[in-house]
Amino acid sequence: MELVFAAEDESRTDLLNSLHEWLKRADQLVRSPVELVARPGTPGEMGGVTDLVMNVNVVEVTAAVSAIMAWLRFRGADIDAERTAAGDIKIRLRRIRRRDLRDTEKLLTDLIQRELDARQNREDRGQ
């Protein structure tokens, strides 16, 4: 499953580069590949944009969420997250800091777990 990170404002490069470096240094815990990926802009955008893409398997979910949450606390950032139709998790990084990130951690963990459960159900049904 892919976790796709994007930033909501002009600090896109700063936030994405910071998270990218953080996750690369956390490779003792998170062995999932992490890379910055350029994608074409949408109509109305000037030029393309860059996303941070992390491929997570079932075994690494807890470590990945822990590493992401540590970075959010360190950077004073927060996220909005949603499942995509393709079954990935789209995460928008924000500079706005909540005082308590437990809700954020639960949101991210629940989204990932629901997608993993859905994939397992499809696999069990042979789809």
Beta-bridge partners for 81: 91
What percent of the chain shows pLDDT beyond 70?
Answer: 87
| Cα–Cα distance for residue pair 12/93, rounded to 1 Å | 8
pLDDT at 99 over 80: no
Summarize pLDDT for 9-51 with one digit per residue, the tens. Answer: 655 678 888 999 999 888 776 777 888 888 776 777 666 678 8
Q: Which run of H or of E encompasses 53?
A: strand 49-55
Whole-structure pTM value:
0.77
How are strands ordered across the β-sheet holding 2-7?
A: 34-39, 49-55, 2-7, 89-94, 78-83
Cα(123)–Cα(21) distance, integer angstroms: 34
Q: Are 1 and 112 in contact (CB under 8 A)?
A: yes
Amino acid 20 reads H
Give the mean pLDDT of the chain.
Answer: 82
The encoded tokens of residue 102 equal: 């437990």
